[in-house]
């Protein structure tokens, strides 16, 4: 299978993905949308496997090749979130992003059929890149969630109707939180995805370090790509610690509330929490920008030109 | 020189860890120690390192000393005093949290404890263990025995505890056929390729590059010979981090978010945390 046939596979997969997205919005049953999206992902996966076999190497070398995996994982994560947590709107978002990245590959493939460079012929190559692409997709969905929460809380604060939209029932004690129950569910999912994505980023970094030691004799050399990878990793780590801290704060607030409920102006507490939450969510968006810098931005960065082994 | 640097680094690291244990023990008596071990120090250290990384990511790391960034040492991040201090602060915070995790061990926090421990070991080994690492480059000419390599940093010749004789180099496979001779006279034929280094004692030999003589049709191999006594420590710490990250991924979909279930939910329902259960991060929040 060659890259010439990519357009047909991409079109077929996109049709399924878009159909799945539409069905997920108009139908209350989850199975039809899941099957349609799954078919799209299967078609896309077939192409990836076919190219892998025909090239004789994993298609993970160029930007265009990594975008293939990104599209696939976006659709799959959207599907998992839809099925596991019943977030109906995540599926269309994930699928539309997958279609967008597949379209970029049609118009700007950035591919070639060269063999792998000797340094890339390592057992670490495939897991290293795949966990990274998976983390990018997970963090992409988490960022969309963060933007949604920010948008809805700001709209809510501006005096419009209380924000709703998620179908997830709220279970968290909201005594010290300014969020509506549905947005608390969104926030909880956001935290879960970030924790999962951070785990994948950590795995990617560690695998890269073990691979670098095997190939070049150093675990870490502060190559520009590594510097940005460390910045991304720390930025998400900061988000997780801030969220954990806010949970502890809310615990403290909730605990003291039983004693001093009447003395605590709830609106003030909520407003303070809201600001802190907004800052944390902006940090999440900033972290995603860092992630983009790490993925492809570093290729265009003047400071990386001539200093990075990873620019391609 | 390698042994001296390694021993000094090891002693310094041990002293540093002992100091942190003392800080942890005395944290309730000294406000400074309590703050150092607290959540704010953790957030501050992460933020400082993050900020510095952003600067280092934008400034070319050419080692120059001129210009605004050069004078401040921002063009050579691995030797920048500010960056090393920031990493030391981060190591202090992570290690104090690791000590707390171990002291108040809970199986529910096993993944976090492993991640803290792995990161702590990596940071301490990186900060104190680099003195014992020697990186050298050897240009091996065909059929010429050689036991000397040039230090990458000082450019001085280093006598290696083995001798290499290049027999053949394959451009396609990017690998060298080499005769390795040890000081006791024993020799063996080995193959060194990219991603497949050879190990001789505490030394690793890597296929780094090659030179070609087109007229003669011969190739010279460039080997990188690295002696890193703490290499295995790093490896164990990295695997620890890898396993804890995998656990985090696995349990992320099943484990409730912060404050939903587990010990924290008890606090949510009961209003106050039992003192025996709270971490000093929480205690700091409470204070």
Mean pLDDT of chain B: 82
Residues B54 and B192 in one domain: no
DSSP assignment letter at A120: G
**Distance of residue B72 Cα from the nearest chain A Cα, in angstroms:** 17
Q: Give the phi and the psi of residue B180 in degrees, each rounded to 5.
A: -105, 125
Q: Does residue A122 belong to the interface with chain B, where contact is any CB pair within 8 Å? A: yes
Per the structure, the complete domain to which residue B261 belongs is given by 2-132+231-270+280-286
Model ipTM value: 0.83
- B249 and A259 within 8 Å at the Cβ level: the answer is no
> Of B205, B171, B173, B202, which is closest to residue B190 (Cα–Cα)?
B205
Residue B222 lies in a domain: yes
Residues B129 and B230: beta-carbon distance below 8 Å: yes
CA nearest to B278, candidates B39, B64, B48, B32: B39
Same domain, B32 and B87: yes
Q: Which residues of A touch B47 (CB under 8 A)?
A: 238
**pLDDT classification of A66: cutoffs 50, 70, 90:** confident
B143 and B120 in a common domain: no
Q: Which of B57, B224, B273 sits opposite A303 (nearest CB)?
A: B57
- DSSP SS3 for A199: helix
Q: How does pLDDT run across A197-252, given as a tens digit for each residue? A: 999 999 999 999 999 998 888 899 888 999 999 999 999 999 999 988 766 555 44
Q: Which residues contact B46 (CB under 8 A, 6 or more apart)?
A: A234, A237, A238, A241, B90
* Same domain (yes/no): B26, B52: yes
- Provide the pLDDT confidence category of residue A72 given band limits of 50, 70 and 90: very high
- Same domain as B214, residue B99: no
Count of CB atoms situated within 10 Å of the CB of A237: 21
Give the C-alpha separation, B268 to A250, whole Å: 9
Contacts of A230 (CB under 8 A, 6+ apart): A205, B53
Q: How many CA atoms lie within 13 A of A117 on its CB side?
A: 10
Domain final residue, candidates B209, B227, B245: B227
Mean pLDDT of A266-272: 50
- Residue indicated by tokens 């591919």: A111
Nearest-neighbour CA in chain A from B133: distance (Å): 10
Residue A278 has pLDDT above 60, yes or no: yes
B105 plus B170 within the same structural domain: no
| A174/B contact by beta carbon, under 8 A | no
- Chain A residue numbers with beta carbons less than 8 Å from the beta carbon of B174 are 118
Q: Where are the alpha helices (DSSP H) in A27-62?
A: 30-55
Determine which of A128, A139, A213 to mutate to test the interface with B (most B C-beta atoms within 10 Å): A213
B10 inside domain: yes
Q: Are A275 and A287 in contact (CB under 8 A)?
A: no
Number of CB atoms found within 10 A of residue B263's CB: 18
At A88 the pLDDT is: 75
Question: B79: buried, middle or exposed (CB in 10 Å: 19+, 13-18, 0-12)?
Answer: exposed
A250 at interface of B, judged by CB pairs closer than 8 A: yes
Question: What is the reported pLDDT for A247?
Answer: 62
For A290, the enclosing helix (H) or strand (E) is helix A266-295
CA distance A179 to A269: 12
- Least confident interval from A15-24, A204-213, A270-279, B110-119: A270-279
Compute how many other C-beta atoms are within 10 angstroms of the C-beta atom of residue A225.
Answer: 23
Residue B275 lies in a domain: no
**Are B36 and B127 part of one and the same domain?**
yes
Distance from CA of B176 to the nearest CA of A (A): 13
Which of B41, B43, B50 best tests the A interface by mutation, with the highest count of A CBs <10 A? B50
Q: Which two tokens stand for residue B238?
A: 């990295």
For B235, nearest residue in chain A (alpha carbons): A210
pLDDT at A30 over 80: yes
- Chain B residues whose CB is inside 8 A of the A241 CB are 39, 42-43, 46
**B124 & B141 share domain:** no
Is A100 in CB contact (< 8 Å) with chain B? no
Contact residues on chain B for A214, CB-CB shorter than 8 A: 195-197
Q: Which of residues A109 and A196 earns the better pLDDT score?
A: A196
pLDDT of B196 strictly over 60: yes
B200 and B120 part of one domain? no
Tokens describing residue A223 = 């190559």
> Do B44 and B150 lie in a common domain?
no
pTM over 0.80: no
Are residues B112 and B15 part of one domain?
yes
Q: Which of A187, A194, A162, A158 has the alpha carbon at shortest distance from A172?
A: A187
Q: What are B88-105's pLDDT values in tens digits? A: 999 999 999 999 999 988
Report which DSSP code applies to A265.
Answer: -
Interface of A with B in 31-70 (CB under 8 A): none
* Nearest-angstrom CA–CA distance, A273 and A236: 20
Contact B57 A234 (CB under 8 A): no
Residue of B nearest to A201 (CA): B245
Facing B285 at nearest CB: one of A206, A242, A249: A249
Judged by CB atoms closer than 8 Å, whether chains meet at A217 and B197 is answered as yes
Q: How far is B78 from chain A (nearest CA, A)?
A: 7
CB atoms within 10 A of CB B248: 23
Residues B36 and B153 in one domain: no
Q: Work out how many domains chain B is built from and give that number.
A: 2
Q: Report the alpha-carbon angle B127-B130-B132, nearest 5.
A: 135
Q: What is the mean pLDDT of chain A?
A: 80
Least Cα separation, residue B241 to chain A (angstroms) = 7
Q: Strand, coil or helix: what is A104?
A: helix
In a domain, B190, yes or no: yes
Contacts of A303 in chain B (CB under 8 A): 57-61
């Amino acid at each position: 299978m060659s890259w010439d046939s990519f357009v047909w596979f991409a079109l077929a997969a996109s049709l399924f993905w878009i159909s799945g997205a539409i069905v997920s919005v108009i139908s209350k049953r989850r199975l039809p949308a899941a099957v349609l999206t799954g078919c799209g992902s299967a078609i896309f996966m077939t192409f990836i496997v076919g190219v892998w076999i025909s090239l004789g190497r994993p298609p993970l070398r160029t930007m265009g090749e990594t975008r293939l995996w990104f599209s696939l994982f976006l659709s799959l994560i959207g599907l998992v979130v839809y099925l596991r947590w019943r977030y109906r709107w995540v599926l269309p978002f994930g699928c539309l992003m997958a279609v967008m990245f597949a379209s970029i590959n049609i118009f700007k493939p950035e591919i070639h059929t060269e063999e792998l460079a000797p340094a890339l012929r390592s057992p670490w190559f495939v897991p290293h890149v795949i966990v990274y692409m998976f983390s990018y997709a997970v963090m992409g969905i988490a960022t969309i969630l963060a933007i949604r929460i920010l948008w809805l809380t700001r709209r809510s604060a501006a005096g419009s109707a209380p924000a709703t939209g998620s179908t997830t029932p709220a279970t968290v004690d909201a005594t010290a939180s300014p969020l509506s129950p549905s947005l608390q569910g969104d926030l909880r999912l956001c935290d879960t995805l970030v924790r999962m994505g951070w785990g994948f980023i950590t795995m990617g970094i560690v695998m890269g370090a073990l691979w670098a030691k095997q190939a070049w004799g150093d675990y870490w050399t502060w190559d520009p790509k590594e510097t940005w990878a460390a910045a991304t990793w720390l930025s998400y780590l900061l988000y997780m610690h801030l969220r954990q801290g806010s949970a502890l704060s809310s615990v403290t607030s909730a605990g003291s509330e039983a004693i001093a409920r009447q003395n605590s102006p709830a609106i003030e507490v909520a407003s303070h929490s809201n600001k802190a939450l907004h800052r944390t969510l902006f940090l999440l968006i900033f972290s995603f920008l860092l992630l983009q810098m790490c993925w492809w931005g570093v290729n265009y960065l003047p400071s990386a030109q001539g200093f990075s082994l990873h620019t391609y | 020189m390698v042994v001296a640097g390694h021993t000094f680094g090891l002693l310094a690291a041990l002293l540093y860890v002992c100091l942190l244990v003392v800080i942890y023990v005395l944290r309730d008596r000294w406000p400074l120690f309590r703050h150092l071990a607290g959540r704010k120090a953790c957030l501050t250290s992460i933020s400082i390192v993050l900020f510095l990384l952003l600067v280092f990511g934008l400034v070319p790391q050419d080692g120059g000393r001129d210009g605004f960034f050069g004078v401040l040492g921002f063009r050579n991040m691995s030797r920048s005093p500010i960056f090393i201090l920031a990493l030391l602060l981060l190591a202090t915070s992570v290690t104090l949290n690791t000590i707390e995790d171990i002291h108040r061990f809970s199986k529910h926090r096993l993944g976090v404890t492993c991640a803290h421990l792995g990161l702590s070991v990596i940071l301490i080994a990186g900060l104190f263990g680099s003195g014992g690492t020697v990186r050298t480059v050897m240009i091996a000419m065909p059929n010429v025995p050689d036991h000397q390599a040039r230090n990458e940093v000082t450019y001085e010749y280093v006598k290696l505890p083995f001798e290499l004789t290049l027999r053949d180099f394959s451009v396609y496979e990017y690998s060298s056929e080499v005769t390795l001779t040890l000081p006791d006279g024993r020799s063996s034929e080995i193959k060194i390729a990219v991603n497949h280094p050879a190990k001789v004692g505490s030394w690793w030999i890597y296929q780094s590059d090659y030179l070609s003589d087109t007229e003669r049709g011969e190739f010279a191999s460039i080997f990188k010979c690295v002696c890193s006594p703490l290499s295995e420590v790093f490896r164990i710490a990295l695997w620890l981090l890898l396993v804890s990250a995998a656990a985090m991924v696995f349990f992320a979909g099943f484990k409730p978010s912060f404050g939903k279930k587990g010990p924290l939910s008890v606090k949510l329902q009961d209003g106050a945390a039992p003192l025996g259960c709270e971490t000093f991060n929480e205690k700091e929040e409470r204070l």
